[in-house]
Copies of this chain bind each other. A is one copy, B any other.
């Protein structure tokens, strides 16, 4: 009962899609002031004093874009924070539409009667600091001087993202989340929430993520960054004023094509594409003849280039490489000893990018220091992206865990 696509469009794409001419692509896929707001809400922070980043940079007048679903209870006890992955954004639920190029990335899990039940829960998702869908990032106007931050936006860590989310929680009147939930880079945020603010969540759900980026993960993301830097249209990060079609979409798209391979699996690629061709081999062989898998990857690359910003991609992949819950905390055990809430760690059988052993390691690590941690396995051929695809299994795991938390008195 394999289903292939994360959405219907990408299911059909490799068959019908034709690569557009680059000139139709914007220099950045970032949301920019003046674009349709969609469901975005905004919060300003660091207005009176600078926000000092873990890596030493400073920012003033930070905007965090976020969305909410449902109604916050009087005691603010029903709030759930959902943290997005690398190329996700605050639009975790709801349809595509003006301001939202894609439907919510977890639309099957968030809504009335769904596992994150917006008739009972108040769900919040914020675009991360350094992102490109409304929160302050490299594509944002600087404010203090003309132009955009571009490559001068300071390096952001997962801890910085979480600190902005804590300020958002303060502003929303949420002292303690019922749960903090996220996959991949979102799962890194979940772990940092647990360590940085142990009293501020009743439950943690981290999916397909790691305690610290491994050398192989750094290898993948760092080569993706070099792909963007190889694109002459990246212009050392100063491309925002380039003519339409002359942004670094080729580099960004290629970085995405590469990562898309690591997001899926050998089995699924074989099932879906095998050796099917786009341009037939029956005539003369040519260097740029494509197999279907190549068009699929081109489509995925193009899709991302339309809705993402190359400098944000650099920044957020770097944040993932820097992710290490032990850093500056005297080691892993002291860091994990800070966790106060039960942790559900979810892994995917076929995930080659964030392999299951990493999610088991975090359960072992938390258990070893006396914490409450459970491993749950998603059985799926879809690789890392299964957390965006296997809604039934994800929903069951989340639902069971949330029910346990809601029944507890902690």
**CA–CA, A215 and B296, complex, Å:** 11
Q: How far is the CA of A269 from the CA of B44 in the complex (A)?
A: 42
Of B261, B314, B322, the contact of A281 (CB 8 Å cutoff):
B322
Interface 9-mer from A72-80, A96-104, A222-230, A385-393? A222-230
**A276 — nearest CB in chain B belongs to which residue?**
B215
Chain B residues whose CB sits within 8 angstroms of the CB of A55 once the complex forms: 281, 284-286
Are the CB atoms of B314 and A287 closer together than 8 Å?
Answer: yes
Whether A213 pairs with B285 at a CB distance below 8 angstroms is: no
A275-B215, A324-B275 are known contacts. Are A223 and B261 too (CB-CB below 8 A)?
A: yes
Contact A322 B285 (CB under 8 A): yes
Contact of A222 among B154, B286, B294 (CB under 8 A): B294
- Report the nearest B residue to A214, measured CB to CB: B270
The residue of chain B having its C-beta at the shortest distance from the C-beta of A160 within the complex is: B285
Which residues of chain B are near A231, meaning CB under 8 Å? 230
Q: How far is the CA of A253 from the CA of B21 in the complex (A)?
A: 27
A302 within 8 A of B: no
Contact of A215 among B155, B269, B314, B322 (CB under 8 A): B269
**Known contacts A155-B287, A293-B219; is A254 also within 8 Å of B273 by CB?**
no
- Binary interface profile of A, 272-283, with partner B (CB < 8 Å = 1, else 0)? 111100000101
A315 located at the interface, meaning its Cβ lies under 8 Å from any Cβ of chain B in the complex: yes
Taken residue by residue from 47 to 84, chain A's Cβ proximity to chain B (1 for < 8 Å, 0 otherwise) reads as 00000011111000000000000000000000000000
The answer, yes or no, to whether A157 is at the interface (CB within 8 Å) is yes
Instruction: Decide: B54 and A285 in contact? CB cutoff 8 A.
Output: yes
0/1 interface trace, chain A 26-54, chain B, CB 8 Å (1 if under): 00000000000000000000000000011
A318 in contact with B270 (CB, 8 Å): no
B54 and A215 within 8 A (CB) = no
Contact A215-B270, Cβ < 8 Å, known A230-B230, A281-B322, A297-B223: yes
A223-B257, A285-B157 are known contacts. Are A266 and B230 too (CB-CB below 8 A)? no
Give A274 Cβ to nearest chain B Cβ, in Å: 6
A212-B315 in contact (CB<8A): no
Q: Are B287 and A151 touching (Cβ within 8 A)? A: yes
- Establish whether residues B270 and A254, one from each chain, have CB atoms under 8 Å apart when the complex forms: no
User: In the bound complex, do residue A56 and residue B216 qualify as a contact, i.e. CB atoms below 8 Å apart?
Assistant: no
- Contact A213–B355 (Cβ < 8 Å): no
Question: Does residue A242 face the partner (Cβ distance < 8 Å to B)?
Answer: no
- Any chain B CB within 8 A of the CB of A169? no
CA distance A124 to B3 in the complex (A): 49
Task: List the B side residues contacting A369 at CB < 8 Å.
Answer: none
Q: What are 22 pairs between A and B in contact, CB < 8 Å?
A: A155-B284, A155-B287, A214-B266, A214-B269, A215-B269, A216-B261, A216-B265, A216-B269, A216-B293, A219-B261, A219-B269, A219-B294, A222-B291, A223-B261, A230-B231, A230-B250, A230-B251, A232-B232, A275-B324, A281-B322, A281-B327, A287-B314
Give the 8 A-B residue pairs with the shortest CB-CB distance, closest first: A55-B285, A56-B284, A215-B269, A155-B285, A215-B273, A215-B293, A216-B266, A216-B269
Q: A55-B285, A215-B270, A216-B269 are in contact. List 15 more A-B contacts (CB 8 A).
A: A55-B281, A55-B284, A55-B286, A57-B284, A218-B293, A219-B297, A222-B290, A222-B293, A222-B297, A223-B297, A226-B257, A281-B322, A285-B318, A285-B322, A287-B315
